[in-house]
């Protein structure tokens, strides 16, 4: 144990704890070094941890977490205005009950979250599971995105598959080589705008009314022809629609290449 030391330092209102392991340390047995720290929930928290787990019960202050080869478990994280929580997870998993505002960076990891008000997420080779989010901005590659309910979603992605239970506001997506399935859209939705290539699009608009503008090359659009009024142009391998399904409602704009589009079940 002489080759392992733990340094605690205090400077003003900052407490710093560092675990030092000698480069010559060798052991045939596994071991852990666990910290149990009790601090008021309104104190800023900055944690960097490798090869271990981090558990935070509740935080009502600025939080910065960097976890590699381990898991992050958190309860309610409430960031102050203008200081979103910063969470980085590599080769691990995060299980978070709720966050009001957060910037997340995930690689080769899994995210499970309950309710997030505002989220900016950069994700690669990961699985994202969200119960409910009001506003999500996403940059994604090679991910699986599963959301029960989303208000506003803006995303740029490649090789990512989306499964969304309910869309209530707006959906703005530029994607390639992935699939999109939205089971249900609220009747008061604002807009759906999708640029797609080499991926299937399924949106459960069903009996809703909306303005429709679609341009598909080397693919087709399934829409409620009996309720559609407007222009339809077929020119070789290209199909264009510009009109209305029903009366009023939000807007649906789709530009797709080599990827079929279904607006009805």
Q: What is the pLDDT of residues 95-137, one digit of tens each?
A: 999 999 999 999 999 999 999 999 999 999 999 999 999 999 9
Which pLDDT tens digit goes with each residue over 55-81? Answer: 999 999 999 999 999 999 999 999 999
**Pairwise CA distance, residues 253 & 237, whole Å:** 19
pTM score, two decimals? 0.90
């Amino acid at each position: 144990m002489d080759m392992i030391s733990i340094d605690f330092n205090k400077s003003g209102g900052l407490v710093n704890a560092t675990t030092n392991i000698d480069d010559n340390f060798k052991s045939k047995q596994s071991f852990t070094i666990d910290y149990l720290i009790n601090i008021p929930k309104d104190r800023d928290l900055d944690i960097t941890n490798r090869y271990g787990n981090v558990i935070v019960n509740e935080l009502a202050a600025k939080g910065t977490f960097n976890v590699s080869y381990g898991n992050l478990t958190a309860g309610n994280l409430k960031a102050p205005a203008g200081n979103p929580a910063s969470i980085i997870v590599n080769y691990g998993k995060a299980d978070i009950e709720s966050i009001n505002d957060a910037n997340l960076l995930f690689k080769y990891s899994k995210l499970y979250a309950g309710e997030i008000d505002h989220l900016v997420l950069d994700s690669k080779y990961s699985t994202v599971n969200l119960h409910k989010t009001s506003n999500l901005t996403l940059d994604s590659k090679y991910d699986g995105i599963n959301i029960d309910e989303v208000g506003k979603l803006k995303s740029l992605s490649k090789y990512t598959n989306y499964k969304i239970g309910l869309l209530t506001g707006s959906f703005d997506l530029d994607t390639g080589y992935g699939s999109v399935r939205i089971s249900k859209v609220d009747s008061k939705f604002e807009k759906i705008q999708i640029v797609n290539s080499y991926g299937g699009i399924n949106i459960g608009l069903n009996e809703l009314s909306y303005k429709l503008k679609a341009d598909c090359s080397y693919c087709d659009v399934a829409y409620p022809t009996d309720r559609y009024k407007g222009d339809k142009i077929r020119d070789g391998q290209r199909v264009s629609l510009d009109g209305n399904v029903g009366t009023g409602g939000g807007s649906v704009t789709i530009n797709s290449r080599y990827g079929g589009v279904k607006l009805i079940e």
